[in-house]
Structure formats: C-alpha cells, structure tokens
Structure 1
C-alpha cells in the first residue's frame, strides 16, 4: 500500500493535533518530551531496553521524505513513541500520564479520518510490551520494578530477535478454497447491533483474514483492446486535451488543477500501469505527433483518468472534478461531440437530468423531484437487445456492476447493475449502444433515522431503471449481497483487488421511505442469471467476516451535499405486513414544519479554521448552495452533534434559532473568506473565529442605586422617628442645619398635601390613601 496525497494530508493533520494538545489545567503542550529521542550518552539504558526508539520529529522527517509506504507504518511509529514512554517510565509519573493521554488522542484522531486504514488495537510486535511479553504493559500498568524483572538483560534483548506474529494459520499462500455457494441463499438481513451508532473496528484476526485473501487473488491486467475511439485526424488529439485542460465550471473554477496535482510518477496499489503518466505528458505527446493511432491516444488518456480516480478519495471534490472531465472527454471523443468551446453543461455532461434522490420515475404521482428520468421496469421500446457492448476497453454484459456519471454530484457516481445491453433504434440515436441500469442508492441518498447504522460501503437496491449511453460509464465495479460479502470476495472477472466494492443488505423505497431487509437475493438480479452457478462465484474466507459499521453520514460532522437526510422511515422485513394491513404502501405525510435545514459556514486559512452552524425550520423550497447541486430542503436535513462544529456563540444562542424565524426560500452555504474572517475575534485556545448569528440585544438597564443600603436604612429610621413638632430632632441633634440632608417627600406625602390644600374629599377617590 502506498500513501496517497489525501492520506498523507490526513496523517499530517493527526500529527498537528498531537503537537497542539495541551494540559487543560497547566496550559502546557503535552508533546514536549516526545519531540526528539533521549540523549544516548545521558540515557544509555533507554537504548538497551527499548527495542525501537521513535520520536515525533523523526516521524515527520520520514513522512516528508516519502520513506513510508503504508499509512499503518506511520501509525505504528507514532504508537511506539507513547508505548515506549509508558514502558520505560514509572507509572503515575508526568511523562507516563502525558504519553497515555497522547496515545488516546492518536487513536481517536486516526479513527475519525475515513481515508486512513483501521489500525491494530494491540501493541505492535516490535514494541517493548510484546518483545518482553508483559501483556499488562500495553497500557503502561504495573510498577517499574515489575517491568525490570520481566525484561531480559540488555545483552539478551539485543541478541534475541523480536517475536513475529504467528503466520502459520495463514501461510504465504491463500488456503485451499472450497467451491463457492450458489446465489440463491434465502437468509434474512444481518442483525442490527445494539447501542449507539459508532464505527466498529474489526478485530485483528478478521483484518488479517481479509488481507491475506485479497493478497492472493489474481490482479487485473488493465484495459482490453475493445471499444476504443474511431480513427480521427491526429490534430484533434491536441484539441481534446486543451479542451480538458482549459475547461471551467459555472463558478469559473478550472477543474484540470485536480488532474495536474496527480504525480507523473506515482505508485498506486493494485494499479496495472506503472509507467510515468500525466496530463502535461499527454499534451506534449499530442503536440509531437507521438500517437500512431486514435486507439493509442484514447487508451493512454483513459489510463490517466483511471490513475486520477485511484489517486483521490471517492466523494472528495478533486475526485468529482476528475469524473466531470472524464465525462467531458467521453463526449469529445465520441462520434458526435458537443458544440464548443466553451463546453457548458448543467448536468456535468451526464446524459440524464437528475440522479439518485432527485430523479423520479415516469408516471409517478410524486410532486417533488425531477420526473420522467427513470422507469419502474425495463423498457423494450425502440431498441434491439444484445448480449454485450464494448466501451473504452471494458466489456459489459448482463448483471455487471458499473459506476455511471451522476448529474447532481459527480463525486458520488451512480451505482448500478446492468439489466439489459441494447442498441438504440430511436431516430437520431439509431445504432448507438447503451445500458439499462438498476440504480442502487448510497446512505447519503436516503432518508433514514438518526440512529441507523450502515455497513462500510453499503448501498440499497431501488426500483429505478434508467437508460444510459455508454459515454456515461465511469468504470466497472462490484457489489455483493450480504450473504456472500461476509463469506468471501468475488472471483475474476467480476471483481479484482483495487476495484470499488460495495455491499447490499436491503431494498430502499424512496417514495415511501421504507427499508426492506432482503431475504431472497435471487429477486434482486436479472432473471436471466438467477439460479446460475456462474454468477459472481466467490473465494471464501476461513470464517465469516462482517464489515465495519458506521453511523449516518449526516452525523459525521462533515458537510454532506446529498439529497438524503435524517427523517422518520419504516423498517421491515421483505413481505412483512404492517399494522393496519397492507405492506406499508401508505405514504407518510410531509409538512414544511417537519423539515429542517442545516446551514454551515466554514473558513480555513493559514491563521486557523472557523466554522458555524445554524439549524432552523424551512419551507419546502429549493435550496441553493455554492455548488450547482440543488435539492429539496426535506433532503437537506443535517443533524449537529457535539464536536461537529467549533462555532462559539452560534446554535442555541442564536436569536434566529430562538425565535424559529423562517429563513426564506433560498439558503446559501459558502465558505467565509479570509479577508472577512480577519475582522472577527478568535478564541484564544483554539484560534477559531468567534462568529455570532446576530448582534447582542440592545437593552436599557436599570441604574444602580445611588446610596448604600446602610444610608438608606438611616433615612428610613429618621423618617419613622419624625414628629410634627420636631422634624427628626433626635437623629440630627448637634448637626448644623447647613449640613443636614433635606429629605424629599414621598409620593404619598405629596398627594396628601395636595388633597388637604384643595379640599378634595378622599372618599370620592377610587382607593383610599395609605394611612387613612
């Protein structure tokens, strides 16, 4: 495994968190004692006791020099930094406490970054805890004296090699495999785990079982010599490359920057082409008339797009840019290229008007979404069915799985299974091959309850069928139903290591928001391959291995621009009757008051991050964002959880949130520019922008008392002792009249004086005066 740029960035972020971790009380950095190795002359015993010394600065230097070939090697070295300190130092010492705290931070931060592989949970074989066989030292428990007795002498430690994990159970080669079972496995859906939704780390043995099996599988040889570009004028090669290189989206962003960021020489796991390849190299070769045929140009360009797809993480913005440009390339290399330049498309050059979550089938009565994009069944009109079609080195047959261009979100290509291969007989499209595909939805394209958990790479079968031209095809993939996925991996040519692999456990009815556990997997595949022993046979594991579980993507703390959301749904088994009869066909009511939209503001610059969040009610109007994706607000619900944002002063303290004010029909989500962020104060601890949804309330405060309570008590006593003949003579005796404080009459006293002066009858007043 090679560390990609995305993974390297995630590792650097994790190290930065470790470097910035501080003690909450002492306000000091915890990492100070772990930056460099102990001095060898001052601490010779350390190097006799610790088998593999490590330090943070050394790991950073090796990472920068690209000396690591596997992300897990970086994790092992970081883990060793703290395990070594826990083993060598006394329990309860400050350095041991700091090491334990940083070890927990490392594990949590690493786990929160999905691009990084799941690490082992036990100490590595080269750690002192494993070398000296002191199990309790994994967490630093036990006294130093006990550890000293458990470890061998320095000479023995140096001469004895560290014990390696027992590999006899697996061997160098994959174990002999039994014949894979038939597809007709009538089993229920996998059990839902109890407890709060959280990602579940596989045990070390399960990880090793999967790794060893996939390690022994045959590798993909690359594109075949079928379906390539027809011969055209060589001058057109350069025009196509320049069109890709200069293409800008509707916001003026040049997408080819993502292609240029892919290194010319990069080692990618399971990549069949290990030759230098880049966009600039293809451009230079086009200028120099290097390509002897259109097929040679087309094949090398397709190889480069494959390399770029493998370089970036699926779902990232850069990955989406690659797929947009690949779809543009398919259009330009076709027999009927689009008019231009400039080349403009509201669907990212995809042939359909909408994708999963927003597309609605023909004849549906749903009032939301884009109608007429899909159908409920395979169409047979104006087409001739064929056994297979060829495109860009791929051969597509019945029941193959594919990635297709998504017009709404290119970074999440449509997942589908081929139900028909055809050649169109429609006027204007006659002779053009295509595929009828059954769509599968991703979790973020469904409405689901907040506590629902998902398998890793889980998708859901739907009743949406769509006709796609071959230019919509991104690549071949594989999807296994759960009964097979937990038991093994598909045999070639259905899947090769490095290809995207998904798992399906349920159906999803997006109109009624119902999840249905699949019992009979045969009903989900094309009729022609049912009961076939040749359909996606597997290499079996030694035992069942379940995939990891993850919570809803809308609870991950990330901004998810997808048509799904959190909401009430019905969960039932296939064919199960619900209360009141029927099978759940009654659709739940949707009201504007029941929908919510989360607005997130995010700004990142060199001075530090800033984030904001507002959650409030909205009406059923389209939601606009900085991207070109527009989804109904019912599908934009995002739940904010603790730690998902770092905004101070927003959320519940927002005046708009407290008042529940409707924000209108257009909600804009955008990044806060650095030139704007610099005008805001920052948190002294986290360096995050202090942003508030509204100014403070301008309230008139009551003036503070002018006199002390003791003086007011003195005045009260004086008033009580006053007599008609002598005005407070007992209290002010001996005080000159010029220095005496004149007491102002009360309102009651003033009113009594006026009544007596003007002869008003008190009985005619509405209420008697005090004292009468």
Structure 2
C-alpha cells in the first residue's frame, strides 16, 4: 500500500489529486498512477481469458444488458455492472479506493449468478470470470502492489435459489423466437421461454365439436400462425436441428459458436478479413422469409459460415475443428433429407402447404393480402385481416390463416379515446378460415402514409383502413406501433407498395369513440376493466366496452375539443309574395304523376355518400317558404308492395321481428337522402313562436333513401334484389315513406329524375375528360423523361470516348518521353542515332522472321499435302493441328 502523502514535493509513489479524483464530496482519491494502470491491466486481462476449446467466457459481460431485450433484468439486478463500465470509471478516475474497484469486479459474476439459472452458459461463464479476477488480484498481491485484504472479493449476499422450470412441450429450436410481435405479453412469453401448442384449423375452424368452453377468455387465441412448412423448409429445419446434436468437450454444443456473428467492437479484424459474414440466426431469418429456393441454396450459406470460421481461426483451435465436423455432418444430413420423398414431409394432420397461394373466385389469394372475412356476428362489418398461411387439408379443402384487425367498437378502451375515421387495430388473433369465408379485398395502411395517398392500382370501390396501434387483448391496452414491418408476414416484410399521392396531404382529425355512450352512469375510476360481449365462436366480439379508469403514463390525453361555433343568426320569415315551392313529401298532381320525368318524387336525386352511421340530414340551404300542406295518406295499390320485410324495418313500418333468410343484421341507414326545407323558430319574449309559413307540426317527415353496405347487399339473393328498385351500383334502395299512388294505369318503371341523370352524365364526362388529360400529361412526362435519359446517355458516351482518347494520348506521350529518357541516359549525345539504328535492326528482324515463317509453311505444306487431303475428307482442318518443327 502506498504511504501517506508528505508535506513536501510529491514522490512518484504519492497519490496525485486531480479534478477527476474529486467529485465534490471532499474525499480525494488515494489511488496512485501505478494502481490506475494495474486496474486497467486487470480489466484487459479479463477480455483475453480463453478456455481450452477457444471459448471466450467474457463475451456476455462486455457491455450492460440491453433493457429492451431483457426488460425484467433491471427489476432483479439493482447494481448492474460490466467490463465497459469498469473501463469507463477507470478512465474518469472515479474510484476513491482500490477496494471500490474490487467490489465492482465482484458484482459482474454475482449478478450473472443471481439472474441466470445454474448450468446455463452465462452462469458457467461467470464462474470462470470470477476465478480470473481472483487470479489477477493475487498477481498484484505477489508483486506488492496491493495487500491480501484489498484483493479479497467482498461478500455481496447469498445467491437466490432458482425457481423450478415449468413443464414445457418439446418444440423445435427455431420456433423459439418470434420477431413480429412487440406486445408486452409476447415479450414476457419470450423471456420465460414458454412454448405451448398453437392454434390450429381444428380448434379455430368450423370443424369444432360442440363441447367448447363457454368462458369467453377460453376463446381468445393468441400466439403465432400455425406451422405450414413446405418439404424444402422441413428439410432445412431438419439439417439445422441435426447439427445441434453434436457436442464437444464438457458436453457443450459445437454449434454454439456459430449462433450469432462476433461482436464488432471485440473482433473488428473479423469483419476486415471476412467479406461475407453469416451466422445461424441470419440463415434462420432468411429461411423464414422464404429466401431459399432449394436445399442446395441453403447449403451454400452453411458452407460459407463454416468456411469463414476456418479462414479466420487457426487450424489447431477448437472452433476450427468444430467447423470441420459440423460442415461434414451438415452435408451428410442434407444428402439424407434430399433423398426422402416429399410425401414424408406432410404435416401430422395431412396439411399440404400452398406457398403460391389459393385460386378462388377467379382471384389468387396469397400471403400478405388484406382481406374481408365473413363475420357471423355482423354481416355489415366483415373481419379485417391479413393472410399469413395458405394450405390444403387432407379432405382437399383450402384454408388460410389470417391475423385479425379489430375495429374500435370491438375493443375495450378508455371512454375519452379518439380514433381515426376507418381505423383498425392489430390483434394477436391468428385464426384459420376456409377460403370460402373470404368476402373481398381490402387494404390497411400505416397511419404515417394514410393521409398522403392511396395504394396504386387498388380498386377505388375497395375499402382502405388506417392502423396506428396494437391491441393487447389480455390487458385491454392499445400500444402505438413503432415499426410497421414488424406487423407483416415474413414473406412481405421487405416489399413495399407504390402510392398514388394526393395533391395535398389530407388533414385527418380523430373522432371520439363510437361506443362512448356505453359507459355506465355510475362508472368510477376504481372499477374493474369491463369485458367485451362475445358472440359466435370464430368471430371478433360483438361489441367492446369503455371505462373511465386512470390512464397509463404512456397514454396520451384525448385531443382538445373543438369550440362550438357561434349561434347562427335567425333569419326573418320571407315575404308571402314569394311563390310557393312544392315540398318533397307533397303528393304530386295527376299531371305531374303521369309525367315520365316525375314518376316518383320520393325517389328524388340521391346525394353522394357521406357517412354510413346515420341518414343525411336536411340540406343547409337558404330557407324556402313552404305554407302548411294538408297531408293525405296515399293509397298504395296491391302491386306496389313494400320492397321486403328488411325495407319495412328500415322504414319503421314493421316491428323488430326476425328477418327471412340467414342474416339478421340491423339495417344501418347509409348514404342517400332528399333535401328538405329547413325549419326555423323565432324567440320572442322568452317563448318560442313558430312562423306559420315555415312550420307545421302535422307535416309529414321528408322522404329519405337508404342502402346497405356492399357486403350486406350481396347477402340478399340476386333474384330478390332484381324485384326491387336499385341504384346504379345494384344496391337495393330503402325509403322512409311508402310509395305514392301514381295511378294504376301508369306502368312507368321507377327511376331517377331527368335532372339527376343529366347531372350524372355531365359529371361522368368531366371525370373522363380529366382522366384523358391526366393520361396525356403522364405520357408527355414519360416521353420527356425518356428523351432526357437518352440525352444523358449520349452525353455520357461522348465523355467516355473523349476520356479514353485523352488517356491513350497521355499514355503514348508518356511512353515516348520515357523512351527518350532511356536513350539519352544510355547513349547521351548519340541518342538519336542509336534510336534510328535500333529501328532499322527491328525492321530487319521482322522481315527475317516473316521469311523464315513463309519458308517453314512451304516446307510443311509440301511434306503433308497427301495427309491433309485425307484429313479434309474426314471433316478435319489443318488449323486443328500443330505441325512439329
């Protein structure tokens, strides 16, 4: 130990106090420069520790544990420590005493033994590192740098006993990790390594027996899609599994060195020497993402991995020997697997993978496609899903496995939660469906792109949704998605789609929860989370729930409410001299009724689609004076029966009884309505007075026209739809009032007014003209781009030719100059004469060589003339021989 500091000049053994040594607590460091150097030597020695087989036991302790990968580590370990932290504290001169450094060194193996299980790799490595620290400190004691008391590792507490391992079902190693889910429950599952059975078609599909538990929680399927491996993928997994059986000294797996690439900071020279680094985790990822087209293609990467190890390591090292043995074993396994017939690789239940997709309804449905799937709970709200697997079962039926996306009203969330219009959330539900359950295509866009455009060439009549969050069904939490690629199947993660961008990005405002009204009046913040209402087995909840519990820290507050607009100015009643205009609900005169253009006033011009949630209200135009009109219930002829019980229900003319047919979905009023004259009242003297010219309490409600969603409309049989009035898209129309009696003698077919048809035709012409204009502009841009590209290529060619000529010229000048210098150096003043003499001699040699060659050719021709004649007859030629000289 160094002596106490003296009062005079410090000696080399005396501690030198510095700013770094003093951290403001008034206690200067008592460590000498020699001790600082010794501490750094100890840390560097730990980096260099190697076992007999070449294994580096310090690799796991180079840096602190990544909290994102192992989030519960810091809940258990309160004082994390690593070799990098030791180096940092030494460089910054943070230690006051050498014993503080010894304690930090002891923390590294103690923490590893506290968190990891006995016999695990990290636990075994920590024992080696602990012995290495003890040995290094003992060297310092023997050198007299520190005392034996300072070198002793402190007691940091008892190592807790490990929890018993849960019972696990055996499953292949490569299915242990799943990088496509970021949900907290999935992270927790990966930490605990609990790998249970997965949902299969027999559990999720329609082939269910009727003994399923009625508990809604039992019906929530989570996890990953089922395993549907092609024969090639099964062979690759068999090879990877087979090489894991080889063990080396100490019963350690030989393949452990090849699981991941070396640390770049520890082995920077590896990435300089090895140009194509690869490891087993990269090979597994490529296999999952369908990068291999054959077993031989896969074996090229395996050979590359083993050859890299043999090129970097010495031939006498254990890693080199392991690489040789593993490479031989991998090739042997691959040959065995390739000889087996494909029939041996069918799944246990006879499933046959269909990696190229399923042809259904004249369309190809493949992995990555977004689809609408039949929802038994509500035909108007098909399930939004993405296809993850496609296969055929033993009976020949074709199946898909799809990840469900819930609509906001199917989730449990905070009552103040706001959503984008048309928003869906990703779930952990991977369900199996027959391909016949697919309704049509749809598309889901990440919220960062949704407002900028629409997928290119995607049909305009198909639905496009926006997604921002994942839905954790166990905790009923919505977590914002960080990386959209993590939500997609492996096969399409690296693929992107083109977009037709809007001229200006849309400003999309979030709207309140559609089930906000379901909050109970007596709800409190301390209530338990409500449960969703479940219906059919293989379907999302019928409806979710809302609560008012306190928000989590990571939940953002709802958007600020938009201030209410100022109250409108109440218009004065118009003068009675204004001519009266007919109300939309007024019965037509006989002449008007017989007119072809006004066959039915109730079916007036539809208004473009706005919201599927409610009928469109009155048109907000200036008030039109409509005097009171006596209403007479029109007589309905027998031939004009209401369109169907479904129409009567939507019109309010029939009780809520069951509908005929298989579907019993509520009719949601949609997009058509007829403008009505707005009604105003006047406020006078604290009482409301209604102008007689504008308001009649007995007047009938204006006619409104509705239609169902496309999915619900298709559910109505075609022969029934043909019997009723439909719009131009073939959707059955529903009216809020019964048809008018236009006379039994009138056989005019119901239809739109001439005014509407003329406006529609005009709009169609404008749209076609706009499309033609855009097409011509696009073609002109393409031509200009091609011309520009051709000009650039021509200019580049010219520059290259000029550069080549210039280079040849420079090279020629350099050669001539160099030749001149050589002649001047050799012959000095006689350089020109020597050059001419050499040129003359060279010409003479060339002429002599030509004469010799001609004479030789003449001799050979004369001596082999007869031979060549016979050779030519056999099809051989003289140029194919080399005559002996």
Q: Compare CA radii of gyration and give the structure with the larger one.
A: 2
Same fold by TM-score, threshold 0.5 exceeded? no
User: TM-score by structure 2 length?
Assistant: 0.23
Larger RCO, structures 1/2 (Cα 8 Å, 6+ apart): 1
User: TM-score by structure 1 length?
Assistant: 0.26
Q: Which has the higher strand share?
A: 1
